[in-house]
Amino acid sequence: MSRSFITRTLMKLRGLPVKDLTLQGFIRNIHFTYLGENLFEEFVIDASQPHLKIIWNFHFQETAKNNTLVSTETRIFCLSKRSKFFFSIYWLFVKPFSGIIRNEMLRLIKKEVENKN
């Protein structure tokens, strides 16, 4: 992500740290919880984020020999009607830019993999 001018610019406009735009940087700087391959039960039980929970993942599906379809998915669970209301307003403005960043990340993954082959 740090190699993407678009992503750096959008993150900077949002007021998010752009110095360390990696998965590990997101975890450190934006207080994400890294689940990895672990079950999600501890995340669901964790009460440190009382308003909402957001899960974002990458899915890799082999479609043929040496071909993999990469996709992302975001799930949001608001723990109250109030948090859902405010998140809906927030998401109205953020969603288009989130999509741009998501597509840019997928493009960078594809470019990196193709350059290695």
Backbone angles phi, psi at 78, to 5 degrees: -90, 130
Which residue is associated with the tokens 């209301």? 85
* Single pTM value for the model: 0.62
Domain that holds residue 78: 5-116
| Residue 85 pLDDT grade (very low, low, confident, very high; cuts 50, 70, 90) | very high
Tell me which of 107 and 46 has the higher pLDDT. Answer: 107
**Residues 83, 91, 23, 74, Cα dihedral to 10°:** 80
Domain count, the chain: 1
pLDDT by residue (tens digit) across 24-57?
665 555 555 666 655 566 666 665 656 787 777 8
Can you give the pLDDT at residue 36? 62
Q: Which has the closest alpha carbon to 77: 39, 106, 104, 40?
A: 40
> Hey, CA dihedral for 114, 1, 88, 33, is it positive or negative?
positive
DSSP labels, 29-58: HS-PPP-TTS-SHHHHH--SS-SEEEEEEE
Can you give the pLDDT at residue 65? 84
Can you give the pLDDT at residue 86? 92
Can you give the pLDDT at residue 89? 94
Can you give the pLDDT at residue 60? 86
Q: Please state, in angstroms and rounded to a whole number, the distance separating the CA atoms of residues 37 and 80.
A: 28
Asked whether the beta carbons of 91 and 77 are under 8 A apart, the reply is no
